Amino acid sequence: MKKFTENNMKNLSFLKERAKEFWEEALRLFNEGKYNLSVFNLEQAVQLWIKYLIGAKLGEWPKVHYFSDLIKELAKTYDSNEILDFFQKHELFFSNLEDAYFTSRYFPKMFSSNLLSQLIKESEEFIKITEKITKEKFWE
C-alpha cells in the first residue's frame, strides 16, 4: 500500500461519507420495512467504514469485500487484538452481513426485521469499538 500523505487523506474522506450515507439509508429502509435493501446498505456502510479506517492509517484501502480479509487487515493496521477478538466472538454477525452483499440482490432470501435489528445493533457495537481503537469518529 502507498505511504500516507495529507492529499491521500482528503481523497479517502469520501469513503467515510459514503459509509454514513449507506448507514442512514439502511435505517430509513429498515423503518419502511424494506429489509433486504436495508441489510445491503448496512453491509456497505460497515465495509466502507473499515476501508476508510485502513486508508486513514495507510493512505490506501484494500480492494476486497470479504469481512474476514478486511478485519484481519484492520487489526494488523492498528495492531489490535481487540478487533480480532470482536470478529471471532461475532463471526456469525459478519457472516450474515457478508451474505447480505450477495443474497439481498441475487437470491430470493428474505431478511427479517428481527435479524436486521440484531445486525444493526452489532454494527453499532463494532463501530464504537473501532472508534475507540482508531480514534476516528463515524458520526463526525
Q: Tens digits of per-residue pLDDT, 43-79? A: 999 999 999 999 999 999 998 889 999 999 999 999 9
How many Å from the N-terminal Cα to the C-terminal Cα in the chain?
26
- pLDDT, tens digit (0-9, with 9 covering 90-100), for 8-28: 556 789 999 999 999 999 999
* Percentage of the residues of the chain whose pLDDT score is greater than 90: 76
> Which comes out higher in pLDDT, residue 100 or 114?
114
Cell 460497515 identifies what position? 46
In a domain, 138, yes or no: no
pLDDT at residue number 3:
47
Q: How far apart are CA 113 and CA 119, in angstroms?
A: 10
What is the number of structural domains in the chain? 1
Average the pLDDT over 76-90 and give the result.
97
In a domain, 21, yes or no: yes
Q: What is each CA distance from 123 to 4, 53, 56, in whole angstroms?
A: 27, 15, 20
pLDDT at residue number 65:
83
CATH code of the domain covering residue 85: 1.20.120.330
Q: What is the pTM of this model?
A: 0.89
pLDDT at residue number 102:
80
Domain interval for residue 66:
6-133
pLDDT at residue number 42:
98
In a domain, 1, yes or no: no
In a domain, 65, yes or no: yes
In a domain, 139, yes or no: no
In a domain, 90, yes or no: yes
pLDDT bin (cut points 50, 70, 90) of residue 2 is very low
Average the pLDDT over 119-136 and give the result.
98
- Listed as own residue / partner, the contacts of 117-121 with beta carbons closer than 8 Å and 24 or more positions apart are 117/30, 118/93, 119/39, 119/42, 119/93, 120/26, 120/27, 120/30, 120/42
In a domain, 140, yes or no: no
Q: How far apart are CA 86 and CA 76, in angstroms?
A: 14
One-letter amino acid of 61: W
pLDDT at residue number 101:
80
In a domain, 60, yes or no: yes
